A and B are shown apart, each in its own frame.
Chain A
Amino acid sequence: MSGEAFEAVVSAHHGEILRYLHRMVGHAADAEDLFQETFLRAFRAYGSLPGDANVRAWLFAIATNLARNHFRSETRRRRAYGEVRVSGRDAAAPMPEAETISRETGALVEGIVRRLPVRQRVAFTQRKIHGLDYEAIGRSLGCSAETARAHVFQALRKIRRSLDGHGLLPEEPQR
C-alpha cells in the first residue's frame, strides 16, 4: 500500500467530497466531521481496494453512507434542516439576465432538493451536481444503475412540479 497513492486520492477528491457532504447535511461543522471521517475510513480500506476500482465512486459511497447514518440521528437532522446553507458565492458581479434567473431558480431548487427523500437527494446531487454516472450512484445507494436513474428522474419530476407557479419557468401556452 503506498502512502503517496493515497495522497493523490486526497488531493484529487477532497474538495468535491467536502462540497457534496455540505450539500447533503447542510451544516458546515457536521459536513466537516463527515468529510474527515470519509477520508479516515477510506484510508483504512484503501489497502484492500482493487487496483482497477473507481476511486471516485468509492469515496462518494463512503461519504453517502456516513451522511445517511448521520441523518438517522433525528436531532442532528432537525439542526441540518433548520439552517440556511452558507455559500461562498454571493454574487457581487453583475450577470446576464438569463443567468440571474437561473441562479434564482437554483436557490429554489436547492430548497426543494433539501426536502427530497434521502435516496432521491443522493442520486440527484451525485448526478446533476457532481456528474457521476448511474453505475457509481448505484454503488452509493446499494442499487442498480437503473434504479439510481429512476431516483434522479423522480427528483427532477418533483423539482419541476414544485417550481411550477414560481414563474421562473419559461412561459408556454396552457393545454
Chain B
Amino acid sequence: MNDEPRTCVRIADDLLAAAMGESEPRATQRVERHVAACAACRRQFHEYRAVDAAVIALREGPDPSPAAALARERMETRLADLRQRLLRYRIFPSPLGNILVARSELGISLVEYLERGNSVRASRLRNEPGVEAVEGGEDLEAVYRELLEYLDGRRRRLEWPLDLRLARSDFHRTVLRATAAIPYGAVIPYAGIANEIGKASASRAVAQALRWNPLPIVIPCHRVVGTSGALTGYAGSKLGLKQRLLSIEGVPTGRETGAPFIRPQAMYVRYPGDREYCVPTCPSLETRHPMPLTRFASRDRAEAAGLSPCATCRPDLHPLSR
C-alpha cells in the first residue's frame, strides 16, 4: 500500500517513537502537529499506544512460583559444582620462560613452567581429571607482579592462599606443606623433609612428591637438595632453573662435571629442632647423632629465619669466608 502522503511516510518512525514515549521533544511536537491534522496517522498513533499498554501489562514482577525457585536451586547446585572444578589461568612471560599460573576459588593451584609454546595445550591442566580450566582472572595480574619481584630478588615471600588439591595424594600434600616451611635462602636434603614429616626412610617418596609439586617457586621445592649437595632434580630436567632460583636467594652453587650442586662448606647449618645456627665445622655437631641439616646461605638468612648464633662456634664472631 503506497498511497500514504509523503508526510505520513516521513513521519512514520517519529510517530512510532512518540507513541512509545521515546522521541525527542522536537520530533514529538512534529508528530503532535501531524496527528492533529491526519486522521489515519492519529489512528495509528492510538493503536501503537494500545499495543504499548498491552505489552506493559505483560511485564511481570519477580516470579515467586515454586518452579522458578526450583530452577534456581538446580542452577545453584550445578554452579557450586563448577566452582569446585573451575581453575582460571593466565600465561605470563618471565625470566624463567613462559609461566602458567592458575587459581581456584580457594587459592593459587598451579604454577607451571611451560616447556613447549605458550598455550594451555602444553599444560598439565589438560590432563587433570575433573578440572575445568578457563583463561582469565584479573587478580592473577597481581600474583604475576609479585612473582616477577621474587624472581628479581626484590621480594622474599609469596604469601598467597594456596589450593593443594592438584597434589596427587595426602602424602604429597604433607610433603608440600613441610617444604613450604623451608626459609628463604636455606636448603635441606630430601631426607630432612622425610624426617620432618616423621617418615625418615621416605626420601625417595619425598623426591617423587616434589617432582609433582603443582606450585614450584611458591612451595620452594628448589630448596630441597641431595644429601651430597647435588641439586639432583627439578621439574623434570630443569636443574638450571633450580640453580638459578637458589642463586637468587644467595645460596652458593657451582657445577662439577656439568652437574650443579650447592657448596655445603660455604653455608651455615642448623641441627633439626635447634634455635641456633652454626658453622659446618662446629664441634657441637660432632657429638650429636648425625641428622640431615638445614643449610643457610648467610647469617642474615639464618637470623631472618629466627635463629641465633651458636654459643660454641660463634658464627657471629667467626663468620665463614666465601
Contacts and interface: CB of A to CB of B under 8 A. Distances in A.
B137 interface: yes
A19 B78 CA distance: 19
Contacts of B58: 106, 109-110, 128-129
Contact of A48 (B47, B50, B59, B137): B137
Interface residues of B, number: 47
Contact of B54 (A28, A109, A157, A172): A109
B79 A40 contact: yes
A163 B13 CA distance: 19
Interface string A74-90: 00000000000000110
B105 to A, nearest CB: 5
A10 B134 contact: no
Interface stretch (B64-72, B122-130, B148-156, B188-196): B64-72
B62 interface: yes
Contacts of A8: none
B54 A102 contact: yes
Nearest to A108: B54
A105 interface: yes
B136 A47 contact: yes
B76 interface: yes
Given A43-B79, A172-B39, A153 B13 contact: yes
A44 B82 contact: yes
B51 interface: yes
A51 B76 CA distance: 23
A102 B65 CA distance: 23
A143 interface: no
Nearest to A104: B54
Contacts of A15: 62-63, 68
Given A1-B139, A169-B46, A47 B39 contact: no
A169 B57 contact: no
Nearest to A44: B134
Q: Is the interface of A mostly helix, strand, loop or mixed?
A: helix
Which 10 A/B pairs are nearest by Cβ-Cβ distance? A48-B136, A105-B54, A172-B43, A47-B136, A175-B40, A47-B137, A102-B57, A88-B65, A36-B75, A128-B55
Interface of A: 1, 3, 10, 14-15, 18-19, 28, 32, 35-36, 39-40, 43-45, 47-48, 51, 88-89, 99, 102-103, 105-106, 108-110, 128-129, 131, 153, 156-157, 159-160, 163-164, 168-170, 172-175
24 contacts: A1-B139, A10-B76, A15-B62, A15-B63, A18-B63, A35-B71, A35-B75, A43-B79, A44-B134, A45-B134, A48-B136, A88-B60, A105-B50, A106-B57, A109-B55, A128-B55, A128-B58, A129-B58, A156-B16, A160-B48, A169-B50, A172-B39, A172-B42, A175-B40
Given A36-B71, A44-B132, 11 more contacts: A1-B105, A18-B72, A43-B82, A44-B86, A106-B54, A153-B16, A153-B17, A160-B44, A160-B51, A170-B50, A173-B39
